[in-house]
Structure 1
Amino acid sequence: KGELRKEGERLFNRVCVIFSLQIFLGALAFSFFAKGFSGSYMKSMSSQIERRFEISSSIFGIIDGSFELGNLMVMVLVSYLGPRVHRPKVIAVGCLIMSLGAFLSVMPQFLMGRYNYERIAVTVDNSSTSVSACSPAPSVGHSVSDVTETPKCEKEPGSLLWIFVMVGNLIRGMGETPIMPLGISYLEDFAKTENSPFYQGCLHTATVIGPFLGFLLASFCAKLFVDLESVDAGELTITPTDVRWVGAWWLGILICALVNFLAGLPFWFLPRSLVKEGETNESEACKKEGVLLEENEQKETKQTMYEIAKDFFPFLKALLRNPVYMLFIVISVLQFSAFLGMISFMPKYLEQQFGKSASDAIFLIGVYNIPIICLGYFFGGLFMKKFKINTYQAAHIACWVTFLDYLLYFTAFWTICDTSPVAGLTVSYEGIDQLSYAENTLLADCNRDCNCTLKVWDPVCANNGITYVSSCLAGCKASTGTGKNVVFENCTCVAASEFPFQNASAVLGQCDKGKNCDKMLQYFLILQLVGSFIFSLAAMPGFMVLIRSLKPEEKSFGVGVHELAARVFAGIPSPIFFGALIDTTCMKWGTKSCGGEGACRIYDIVKYRWIYLGLPALLRGMSFIPGLITLFILKKQLTSERNVSLNAPVELQDKGQ
């Protein structure tokens, strides 16, 4: 029996050593990677989801905000009850729920029919000619398969299937909830104080690597046509640069679901408690931990929900009376609102402002922003550890480094491209600059006899450098070629422009932005790169101000309430009001296959730029007011602590006398 007991003790000690803090840190880092991977993928697919379901930016904002709503529904419960339950297993359940939510988001792809993008030019297979664009007969706004099958429109599932994506995103948000508060509180409980900033830096690094690979996956999927399994690429008349192009958005979500599932597996095998880092006698520590674990489990089985929850309001009251903590929440809400609004619609901004395809825009965001943010997080955490920065110093670093990035941010307003000339929208048919949101300006003397529809967006680029909303509105009388190679000829509106051409012709697609726009894009991306690095350097000092403003027993609950506030006041409303404001800049809405307003096809890029860049500038500027107040309070606290330490020996001496 003695030998068996010794063997059991040795086995227990060995298992205890294996389940060290570093193992948990690795598992938690992978879960941070997984949530960042799937989150960045969903955000980067904004324009693809809008076009697939023919919805506005404000509706996509609702889809995006549903993730934060899912967090909100369980955040307080998870954060408060987390330390009283088996935290690793709760995180494992969360990863599984994230995976299920991702699978639900993909369902519309298998419930909807093939994607039929709007077009007027109807080509006939195995023929060198196509139906004439400018004709006395009414133009058709559908593909060949839909022209003679109007009743089919009543049977097709409507665009309300985007609700599946919204509900899946909401469930994914519920699943992600326990990862950060429970993971960080678990890490803080068993890590050395001086090692905590470095570990936090490792976690934030993993969080940034996830979005990097998520953006790369999104870039790849955006190049593939949505119905890649059933559509021949030769049949398509659009390219990835076209605003009607929809990539294989669903394929990447399936991969995200698998990654989230794998991220939860290690947590099923991790213990409820770990050895405190730095214990000199690891065997004795393991034994004590095992005894304490047994006692705690016995006690907690006897606890009622009332006994567990009775401290909720005292904890909440203590947080509300913590001025540094409350001011940090205000700062986070303002900064998070600006960041989330920008990142949600950045792919679309690069598409509209600089004329890039969705795939290229997503790739550039991932390559220019994510790796440098990763370095900023890492060096920020390393700096905090090496120099043992206190709370007051960390607050100063976070405030002034962020302010430096804020000043640099304003240079982005000068990285602009000329407005694309689109006849009837940004220029007149004579080539004179004008701006119009009205449909009647699409008609002119040169196309008035063509019986053109004003609803359909099927742009052509004429050899005078002007884009026309359709070949019919360009007054083109004939066409040759098939597929993407169709050439429209004898275009009366091109011949009547300010710079007329004898051979007035046009090709499918919108005209390119030009070389100057590519140069401006490079300037914009370099500014983003430098700004992202500076801002990420301030992230770890700022986060440590939050952690150190809380008592040990308040950390899990405090981090949870902070996340809750960020989601309620920033995460949910920010994409919605950003999307609604962006919708006000739309100059031409698309048309659904069975009628009705679809996704926006072209924006007023000047107004779009002022909203997209100006609103974050306003929100970030406001965040420095509570930031300066926080510095004042921390300085006052530091001064009072020094006075207490200086007066302590005098008080002891007085007591001795």
Structure 2
Amino acid sequence: MGSSSALYPGERTPLLEREVKGGFVMAGKMNLYKTFFNTFTFVAMFTISSLALTTSSGYLSSVISTVEQRFQLKSTESSLLFTVDDAVSFSTVLFVTHFGNSASKPKLISFLFLLVAIGTVFQTMPHFLYEPPGSIQPSQGGRGGGGGGRGGGGGGKGGGTQLSDQFLCDNSSIVIDNCTSKEIMNSGALWNQVWWLYLGKALAGFGISINPLAITYLDDSPARSYLPIFIAIIYGFRSTGSSIGGFIAQQCLSVPASWPLVTSDTVTNPNDPHYLGAWWLGFIPISVMAFCPALLLFFFPRVMSASGDSNKTPDKSSMESDTKTSRRRGRRRREREDPNKSIVSEDTNAITTQEPSSRVRRIFSAIIGFFRALFRVMRNWVVLSLIFADHALSFSSFPDGTFAAKYLQYEFHLSAAEASAVRAWTKLPMIFVGYFFSAFIIMIGRLKPRGTIIMVAVCIVCAALLTPAKLFAGCKNNPIAGLTVPYDYTDIEDKNVWNADDRNLTATCNADCYCPSGYNPVCAPSGVTYVTACHAGCTDTMVNTIGSKNVTVYSHCSCYDELFVNSTGERSTLSEGVCATDCTWVYHFALLMMTSLLRNIMYSPSLMSKVRFVDEQDRSMIQGLDKFIKRFLVTSPGPIVYGILFDKSCMLFQTSCGKTGNCLVFDIERLRKLLFGVATAFASVSAAGAVLTLFLVFLRMKRERPLQAETQAISKNTNNSNSARETALDSGESPDIIESDVSEAQQGYINYGAIDEPADTGF
């Protein structure tokens, strides 16, 4: 009984003190706790979990074309995946950053990261719950399969034929649309399956509000002098998430979606238009990356103590203080359980009844404080113009960011895995160089807020000047019969413009073939690509062995033979795949690297300028407002706008049972002009905003010069007065008059500063 009584709050000898006296057991535990849970460990854990958040987004950006193929989504529909998390974020970021400023930031950060991990797992669920639709089922049977033929691709003519036979011209029978209920359900966008991805992205949206809380938590720590380094580490590694997601996507898309259950009927060639990569696989390690550090972040203290305290042994007074704190917390818990809700005063034993109105007043006061902080920040014109310029540039970067892998895949005829790798290798080196170079310049140059703003403005203007060059760094459309060239096209160097209104896949040479609406391209020796062998009028197929590979070729192709028959009368054969082009992505690669470098250089100084140009109490608010504006005006509408541009550039959609799905063939010239035309417009707006920010900064400097001159004059007068006072004291004279002059000078300085120096809150 004696030992157990030490557990009660009323025990005279605190339990912690008894353990310390018994051998410093608890002291050792507390030393171990402080040794591990310090500022640098927090930065490491937060960086890993934050890296998982951006890796998830980068991974989805890299597999988005495969997701569109799997769920038969148009670009406008798939772009909603990049907006749902932002919609959740801008709906909650201001409240999370404001009210989270008074909460335990590590615990709140841990909880939000756990939501991110759960949401990432949800995005894998469609793979385990649903079968792929017949239009992309990696089965080798059924006419009209692969790519959305009539009847969806499950049944139809030739149920046991090879995939190459499905697209042959067959004028002996007419394929009639006769879809079953299952085929109708699996036609068009598969919203009944893809909603899992939207739910997962919505949960991940709560994690976007984390960064302002972490920056404020670190800025309040004893190691705040290392804040530029912390920002460089966090945002530097966080930005690598996009590239890491690309590398993960490259590996995952290199294996079929049915992995590890790969059968002989599974399409395993990544260049085959019917190939479906393992889009779901990468979400699993990413969720683990977010979950494990989030658990450790929960145990960090509310306020980080000095690093030197971790080596100190707790003394008796600190133990008693901890025990008193524990008693107060226990008393409060008992009072909450008491129906009378009485509160025992800390200093006296008076008991007062908590009035409900006091709680209402506290809530009302918190709301008033929120809007006051928002009003103070909205008056800071320098920061607002900087935010405007920064986010206009962000809007112009979607073709290089969210849709980079998709654009590279279709513009330069790469596989999904290859496009992901190119995107990742383009960005990764520039991230490290840009972030650490900017941190080095800031620390070595000891740049103040004005200097960092100038640095940001220069980077924005340079990036804006490079954007229009991407309009000319691309490829020309492949000659595709019926889409980009007419069926009677013979000159590969013909420069005549093909009118989009003239597009028609049916010609006299294939009118009797009743071709399906799928996409299984074949290449003619003339360099012209046909959508399918059926559209080329081919009636026969054979397999040739070239080295160790079996190559399928098509013969008796009426659309080609009508135009090209050699002098001996022999008929040529058409091979599978799109005709090769000599277009290169090197120039686009170089421009992408340069703009990526500039954006990464400006990131840290931009963040520091926004934080340091406001009052200390508004640091979380300005970061929250920055995130809110970005989510509301950039990352929410941006993917939808660019998704519309992708759909506007589509020449051939997947079709099944009268419904359209994802795009199969893009007009890449039109796509490039639309994407980078819009990007150039917003980059120009960003450059104008950067110039406006510089003008406001220099105007502010001009207005502060009189104050600086007055301050220097007052300081000089004060020094002279102090010298005169010392002389008077040495000579034995009375210093009363001099003291009066000094007091008046100091009072004048205080009054002047109080009136004219709310400098960091605006003009």
Q: 1:484 to 1:569 in 2, by over 3 A?
A: farther
Q: 1:101 to 1:493 in 2, by over 3 A?
A: same
Q: 2:531 aligns with which of 444, 451, 469?
A: 469
How much has 1:616 moved relative to structure 2?
1.4
What's 2:122 paired with? 104
What's 2:449 paired with? 391
Unaligned 5+ segments in structure 2 are: 1-12, 137-144, 337-353, 491-495, 718-740, 745-763
What's 2:36 paired with? 18
Amino acid paired to 1:325:
V
CA distance in 2, matches of 1:258, 1:447: 54
Q: 1:532 aligns with which of 570, 573, 596?
A: 596
CA distance in 2, matches of 1:168, 1:522: 36
What's 2:666 paired with? 603
How much has 1:434 moved relative to structure 2?
4.9
What's 2:562 paired with? 496
Would you say the 8 A contact 1:484–1:508 is kept in 2? no
What's 1:94 paired with? 112
What's 2:78 paired with? 60
CA distance in 1, matches of 2:413, 2:690: 38
How much has 1:566 moved relative to structure 2?
0.4
CA distance in 2, matches of 1:250, 1:529: 29
Identity %: 23
How much has 1:263 moved relative to structure 2?
3.0
Q: Map of 1:274-313 to 2, 5 A cutoff?
A: 274-276=304-306, 304-313=362-371
Q: 1:648 to 1:362 in 2, by over 3 A?
A: same
What's 1:166 paired with? 198
Would you say the 8 A contact 1:436–1:587 is kept in 2? no
Matched, 1:205 2:236: yes
CA distance in 1, matches of 2:164, 2:71: 32
CA distance in 2, matches of 1:4, 1:477: 90
The CA deviation string for residues 591-622 of structure 1, in whole angstroms up to 9 with x for no partner, is 23x44111111111111011122211111110
Matched, 1:459 2:521: yes
CA distance in 1, matches of 2:323, 2:597: 44
Q: Map of 1:60-79 to 2, 5 A cutoff?
A: 60-79=78-97
Unaligned 5+ segments in structure 1 are: 142-146
How much has 1:585 moved relative to structure 2?
1.0
The CA deviation string for residues 61-104 of structure 1, in whole angstroms up to 9 with x for no partner, is 11211111121232122111112111111111111111111222
Q: Map of 1:342-491 to 2, 5 A cutoff?
A: 342-431=400-489, 433-437=496-500, 441-453=504-516, 455-481=517-543, 485-491=551-557
Q: 1:352 to 1:38 in 2, by over 3 A?
A: same
Q: 2:576 aligns with which of 508, 529, 536?
A: 508
How much has 1:38 moved relative to structure 2?
1.0
Amino acid paired to 2:577:
G
Would you say the 8 A contact 2:475–2:669 is kept in 1? no
For residue 96 of structure 1, give the secondary structure of its aligned residue in structure 2. helix
Q: 1:336 aligns with which of 391, 394, 397?
A: 394
CA radius of gyration, larger in: 2
Would you say the 8 A contact 2:373–2:618 is kept in 1? yes
Would you say the 8 A contact 2:35–2:310 is kept in 1? no
What's 2:691 paired with? 628
For residue 101 of structure 2, give the secondary structure of its aligned residue in structure 1. helix
Amino acid paired to 1:646:
A
What's 1:30 paired with? 48
Q: 2:257 aligns with which of 205, 217, 226?
A: 226
Would you say the 8 A contact 1:112–1:156 is kept in 2? no
What's 2:216 paired with? 185
For residue 587 of structure 1, give the secondary structure of its aligned residue in structure 2. strand
What's 2:384 paired with? 326
How much has 1:635 moved relative to structure 2?
2.3
What's 2:301 paired with? 271
How much has 1:41 moved relative to structure 2?
0.5
For residue 397 of structure 2, give the secondary structure of its aligned residue in structure 1. helix
How much has 1:112 moved relative to structure 2?
2.2
What's 2:372 paired with? 314
What's 2:620 paired with? 556
CA distance in 2, matches of 1:555, 1:128: 61
Between 1 and 2, higher relative CO (CA 8 Å, sep ≥ 6) is seen in: 1
For residue 271 of structure 2, give the secondary structure of its aligned residue in structure 1. coil
Q: Map of 1:636-655 to 2, 5 A cutoff?
A: 636-651=699-714, 653=717
What's 1:614 paired with? 677
Amino acid paired to 1:512:
A
What's 1:195 paired with? 226
Amino acid paired to 2:41:
I
CA distance in 2, matches of 1:19, 1:633: 43
CA distance in 2, matches of 1:62, 1:132: 34
CA distance in 1, matches of 2:444, 2:324: 34
Higher helix share: 1
Amino acid paired to 1:493:
C
Amino acid paired to 1:585:
S
How much has 1:399 moved relative to structure 2?
1.0
CA distance in 1, matches of 2:710, 2:109: 47
Count of aligned pairs between the two proteins? 644
CA distance in 2, matches of 1:510, 1:97: 44
Would you say the 8 A contact 2:236–2:435 is kept in 1? yes
Q: 1:259 to 1:18 in 2, by over 3 A?
A: closer
Matched, 1:136 2:164: no
Would you say the 8 A contact 2:468–2:677 is kept in 1? no
Q: 1:439 to 1:650 in 2, by over 3 A?
A: closer
How much has 1:233 moved relative to structure 2?
5.3
Amino acid paired to 1:165:
L
Q: 1:451 to 1:234 in 2, by over 3 A?
A: closer
For residue 442 of structure 1, give the secondary structure of its aligned residue in structure 2. coil
Amino acid paired to 2:486:
S
How much has 1:140 moved relative to structure 2?
5.7
> Which is further off, 395-404 or 638-647?
638-647
How much has 1:327 moved relative to structure 2?
1.5
CA distance in 2, matches of 1:293, 1:57: 61
Q: 1:131 to 1:61 in 2, by over 3 A?
A: closer
For residue 85 of structure 1, give the secondary structure of its aligned residue in structure 2. coil
- Structure 2 length as normaliser, TM-score? 0.77
CA distance in 1, matches of 2:465, 2:278: 39
Amino acid paired to 2:288:
L
For residue 662 of structure 2, give the secondary structure of its aligned residue in structure 1. strand
For residue 248 of structure 1, give the secondary structure of its aligned residue in structure 2. coil
CA distance in 1, matches of 2:164, 2:185: 32
Would you say the 8 A contact 1:464–1:499 is kept in 2? no
What's 1:153 paired with? 183
Would you say the 8 A contact 1:244–1:601 is kept in 2? no
What's 2:610 paired with? 546
For residue 52 of structure 1, give the secondary structure of its aligned residue in structure 2. helix
> Which is further off, 12-21 or 626-635?
12-21
What's 1:144 paired with? none
> Which is further off, 400-409 or 2-11?
2-11
For residue 602 of structure 1, give the secondary structure of its aligned residue in structure 2. strand
Q: 1:21 to 1:504 in 2, by over 3 A?
A: same
Q: 1:582 to 1:636 in 2, by over 3 A?
A: same
CA distance in 2, matches of 1:10, 1:151: 69
CA distance in 1, matches of 2:444, 2:208: 31
What's 2:634 paired with? 570
Matched, 1:588 2:652: yes
